[in-house]
Amino acid sequence: MKIQNKIGKVLGMTATPAMALVACLFVSDAWADGFVCYSSEEQLQIQVYNHTSPADGTRSPSVMIVSDLSQEFGDQLIAKFSGDKGELFADGARYFARASTPISSQEGESSSKTANSWDEEVSNSVELLGYTLSSLLELSLAIDFNYEMPVERGTTLRGVLELVEQNGNIEWLEMDCVRYLR
């Protein structure tokens, strides 16, 4: 009872509304969550955010934003992948973005078509770690996180970015990922 009265006095409320406010702060679910990841040189930034439905206890990938922070403001965006458009998928804290989808040409040779909203010219000119988007099949971001054992907002976690080329070659890049909750 003494704690309730002290909280109420600090907040300028009676004990009952003050305790209700404190209870809401501790039991409220996240309305937005995700991660903001950086390469060790902090030039590459990848942000992934989820749609959340706290009442259902569900999260589905909303968007992955890939940026080159070494570029001028306004020119930093490399790619944006949307879960709503079928470009982004997730399995726990592992996110998969389709950079392009292999398609067969009339001669039976394999070529690629971008799966995201970028046009062909942009897909062939924008680079991610030296690769054009059209040369990549998939980007995968795996974060050392488990939703069964949540961490506080702002906690830094390990992550690995995997770039899968159309020809099957794979490039890995270690990332530092900061937990985002709102």
Least confident of 5-9, 34-38, 94-98, 160-164: 5-9
Strands (DSSP E) contained in the chain are 33-39, 44-53, 58-68, 77-82, 88-91, 94-98, 100-104, 110-114, 127-128, 131-132, 136-143, 156-165, 170-181
With 80 as the cut, is the pLDDT of residue 2 above it? no
d(CA 154, CA 58): 21
The token pair that represents 138 in the structure block: 């998939």
Q: At 16, is the pLDDT very low, low, confident or very high (cuts 50, 70, 90)?
A: very low
12 contacts: CB under 8 Å, gap ≥ 6:
none
Q: Are 179 and 154 in contact (CB under 8 A)?
A: yes
Q: Which of 9-18, 132-141, 163-172 is predicted with the least confidence, judged by mean pLDDT?
A: 9-18
Is the pLDDT assigned to residue 18 strictly greater than 50? no
The DSSP line for 30-54 is PSSEEEEEEETTS-EEEEEEEEEET
pLDDT of residue 88: 93
Supply the pTM of this predicted model. 0.70
Q: What is the pLDDT of residues 107-152, one digit of tens each?
A: 444 344 444 444 444 555 678 888 888 889 999 999 999 988 989 9
Nearest in space to 100 (alpha carbons), one of 65, 62, 131: 131
- The mean pLDDT value of the chain amounts to 75
Per the CB < 8 A criterion, the answer to whether 54 and 81 are in contact is no
